[in-house]
Amino acid sequence: GLLSLSAVYADYFRMGAAIEPEQTEGRTAELLKQQVNWIVAENAMKPDAIEPAEGSFTWERADRIVAFAKANGMGLRFHTLVWHSQTPEWFFRDEAGQAMADETDAKKRETNKKLLLQRLDTYISTVVGRYKHDISSWDVVNEVIEPGDPEGMRASNWYKITGTGFIETAFRAARKAGGPDIKLYINDYGTDNPVKRDRLYDLVKVMLEKGVPIDGVGHQTHINLEYPSTQSIIESMQKFHDLGLDNQITELDMSLYVYKDLSDVGADVPGDILQQQAERYGELFDALRTRKELLSGVMFWGISDDHTWLSTFPVVRTEAPLLFDKQLQAKPAFQAVTGF
Ligand code: XIL
């Protein structure tokens, strides 16, 4: 029979996949049960899914994913308490309905900041309170670093209204609600890029010195056939490991495209491309196994090529970034990752 990713990696780290509630039933569910011991909600635990309007929480879809994990003895990640995207507008409007980020009066800005941080604290204590016994790894903030923006911090509503206050409040609120056992992560993409990595490092260091409870770094790791190098992925994890932090690869997939060439390779991916993908996946996992002390888990952003966010982002196109194909059959990449 087919090998199981999580069984093959039992002595190394957890192996998981992002899922939608619909995928807790049917063929995908069967594949997940066989292959992974860890899952994360692809969308169902984002702020717009959980609290679309202030005070009205919609737990049903998130609960389905938790129930699936529990029924099958899988661990869970939470993604994500704070983000600039997929977050409802109500967070960022004052009582009069004005956008807080546009406020110019200094006193009113202070009041707005307090209100937003209060809302954040309430949101986080509610969500963490609900799932703290079920979910051990939490993305507390997602994508807050942006080297092109002032101070290297993404100019989101969160940052414009509170500075780095939202980061501090979010981690403290998560720890307060979740206790010492849940693990709290700062998650981002492009953490292999030295400029972005170092900005993230500096932020985390300052936060830790202030006593902000950060346990680890989540590296999204949306990579492609050529970039970034395996070595740069390892080097970044090494840097945070030296700071005493855990690392997790949180959204792994491998686009067939390099950004200089957006042409469609067509519905059938050529065998040599799948082979190239297998070699690169193999090389990455060889390195991760060799340095297993650097990380506690690898989460794929999906399980099979029939369902991947890359088929519409940044343009509609044929993609095949995962270890299983559209028919849910193991690809050469699966053989490369498990055949050692
Ligand atoms: C993506 C989902 O996969 C899509 O279904 C959704 O439309 C947009 O978000 N970085 C993240 C994830 O942190 O939350 C994103 O997920 C992919 C990029």
Return the DSSP state at 153.
Answer: B
Q: Are strands 137-142 and 75-78 parallel, antiparallel or unpaired?
A: parallel
Q: Which residues line the pocket of ligand 1, CB cutoff 6 A? A: 42-43, 142, 220, 251, 309
CB-CB neighbours of 155 under 10 Å: 14
Angle ∠(261,266,267) on CA atoms, nearest 5: 140
Instruction: Locate the ligand 1 atom nearest the alpha carbon of residue 83 and give its number.
Output: 13
Task: Give me the chain's average pLDDT, please.
Answer: 96
Q: How confident is the model at residue 264 (pLDDT cuts 50, 70, 90)?
A: low
* C-alpha span between 32 and 12 (Å, rounded): 19
209 is catalytic: no
Averaged pLDDT for residues 29-51: 98
End-to-end CA distance of the chain: 17
43 CA from centroid of ligand 1 (Å): 7
The structural domains of the chain, with segments of one domain joined by +, span: 5-259+296-304
Ligand 1 atom nearest to 309, measured from its CA: 3
Most informative mutation of 19, 20, 23, 42 for ligand 1 (most atoms within 8 A of CB): 42
Predicted confidence at residue 270, as pLDDT, reads 84
Residue 35, H or E segment: helix 27-35
Question: What does the alpha-carbon distance between residue 186 and residue 188 come to, in Å, rounded to a whole number?
Answer: 7
Q: Predicted ipTM?
A: 0.99
Q: What is the mean pLDDT of residues 154-174?
A: 98
Question: Is the separation of the CB atoms in 192 and 227 below 8 Å?
Answer: no
Task: List, for residues 207-222, the tens digit of each pLDDT value.
Answer: 999 999 999 999 999 9
Q: Which of left, alpha, beta for 175 (phi over 0: left; psi -120 to 50: alpha)? A: alpha
Element (H, E) at 18: strand 14-19
Residue 277 tokens, joined: 């993908």
CATH no., domain 5-259+296-304: 3.20.20.80
pLDDT tens digits, 288-319:
999 999 999 999 999 999 999 998 888 877 88
